[in-house]
Structure 1
């Protein structure tokens, strides 16, 4: 009773003891988990291996660790353990042959939840939403659908040969244009005239920024997800990520609207040249044909 009276008469003591007990529970849990995971570099309590991972070219550090600990090892990003697989054959065995067991994805707080607002299949965990998106993509990537895309390769290759004859000194940018044009035409049904096209440069900027968000140890919120709930005025880094995410979402929607306009124009002009069966066109038509089976917005 004297102990209870002491806690009640001194709230600071009670709070301190509670914090210590929570801290001890966290330590015991993490140490217990650590003993059952593949070996890896020794983590710092609560921080993990975050301070050991360079912000630039982290893959070099991962390769160094793989030589020390083997093809499968564990690193800790804060309190979150991450198993790293550095052997392609092991990765194929686990992620392809045993995909039913390992097909889900880890939680992407920065890139998935803050930047993309979970609108991309790339960051969604295995579940109903992921299955809907996968089924929709599968309908547009059947062998029959892929036959339409083969026509682009000889057309773009012929254009590349002509441009090389005209200006071989810029061969590197011409090959960049070839790859960009094929990808863009497959995606949206429009070819690209130059690798310096504003839309291509914009897409590259988006991709590079998204990649920087997913770099191991780049953001503390990946280790402590509760930080995502901080208000923007306290966490300006989060406000900047959200701002850039809105810019990418609007750019994506602008491209989807172009394809939607192409579809409507083709309907109003039956005798015109058939519209190229781009990936976005197929996805829109499949979704529109059965909205209940694919309850997704155009951003999704």
Structure 2
């Protein structure tokens, strides 16, 4: 008798659950206490606590205040994440202990399917990442950055004029100034205004990245084999966002 789709789905779900219960557990090597976080349930972890409509950074910041901790911990479908909520915590760990915290987590959706894996922020730590950092250092070290002061000062003057004209749009003006400064220094291109096509492209691509890289957003980040399913809805979204990265 042929096997039904329901039986196939049930068997697949059973294999996934067994893997989460026993496969991940056997890989743990430490029983040290973890930072505080939301309630975690068996198998799914904090899946139902991850915000759907709220920006993830706001949720993490509020969670840190509720737990009175600079670090918070979440576990979603076996994948563990520690979030650093303060500048001091990030400096102590990422600078003070950079030799053991230099790698990046692999996100199948954001890195592979959307195409951010070629950018330094998502590049796995290794020779390629070190080479990119060396290249950046040649133009962004303390001495070289002095050559950029005139351009930075020019954009700062523009920002002040915008704030005098419409101070209620502070966040928008800051984002525009940051984008205009980076575009000027990198490509020599002068951003016209907020409706400039390059600003729109950049904000669209970065907004999609922020959504796709939120822990627990896509199952393919926990089960990479799902990327081979041609009919999966997330692949259609990834194709649209990948085109935005290419434009960016």
Match of 2:237 in 1: 240
Q: Which one of 34, 40, 49 corresponds to residue 38 of structure 1?
A: 34
Task: State the SS of the aligned residue for 2:99.
Answer: helix
C-alpha offsets along residues 144-192 of structure 1, whole Å, 9 cap, x if unaligned? 431221111333445567x669x93588476665443322101211112
Distance in 2 (CA, whole Å) between partners of 1:204 and 1:197 is: 11
**Superposed, which structure 2 residues align to 1:1-300 within 5 Å?**
26-31=20-25, 33=28, 35-36=31-32, 38=34, 40-55=37-52, 56-63=54-61, 65-66=63-64, 67-68=66-67, 70-116=69-115, 118-158=117-157, 168=165, 172=169, 177-231=176-230, 234-249=231-246, 251-252=247-248
Distance in 1 (CA, whole Å) between partners of 2:73 and 2:156 is: 45
Match of 1:9 in 2: none
C-alpha offsets along residues 125-149 of structure 1, whole Å, 9 cap, x if unaligned? 2112211211222222233431221
Distance in 1 (CA, whole Å) between partners of 2:192 and 2:57 is: 35
Q: Highest Rg: 1 or 2?
A: 1
Distance in 1 (CA, whole Å) between partners of 2:24 and 2:158 is: 58
Match of 1:3 in 2: none
The alpha-carbon deviation at position 220 of structure 1 amounts to 1.6
CA 1:25–1:143 in structure 2 vs 1: closer, same or farther (change >3 Å)? closer
TM-score by length of 1: 0.64
The alpha-carbon deviation at position 98 of structure 1 amounts to 0.7
Whether the 8 Å contact between 1:115 and 1:245 is mirrored in structure 2 is yes
Task: State the SS of the aligned residue for 1:74.
Answer: strand
Q: Which is bigger in relative contact order (C-alpha 8 A, separation at least 6)?
A: 1
Give the aligned length: 231
Distance in 2 (CA, whole Å) between partners of 1:186 and 1:134 is: 17
CA 1:117–1:203 in structure 2 vs 1: closer, same or farther (change >3 Å)? closer
Distance in 2 (CA, whole Å) between partners of 1:74 and 1:174 is: 33
Distance in 2 (CA, whole Å) between partners of 1:217 and 1:96 is: 27
CA 1:143–1:227 in structure 2 vs 1: closer, same or farther (change >3 Å)? same
TM-score by length of 2: 0.76
Worse-matched range after superposition: 210-219 or 71-80: 71-80
Distance in 2 (CA, whole Å) between partners of 1:155 and 1:220 is: 45
Distance in 2 (CA, whole Å) between partners of 1:225 and 1:21 is: 14
Distance in 2 (CA, whole Å) between partners of 1:84 and 1:157 is: 32
CA 1:20–1:215 in structure 2 vs 1: closer, same or farther (change >3 Å)? closer
The alpha-carbon deviation at position 100 of structure 1 amounts to 0.8
Match of 2:7 in 1: none
Task: State the SS of the aligned residue for 2:118.
Answer: coil
The alpha-carbon deviation at position 106 of structure 1 amounts to 1.0
Distance in 2 (CA, whole Å) between partners of 1:175 and 1:60 is: 18
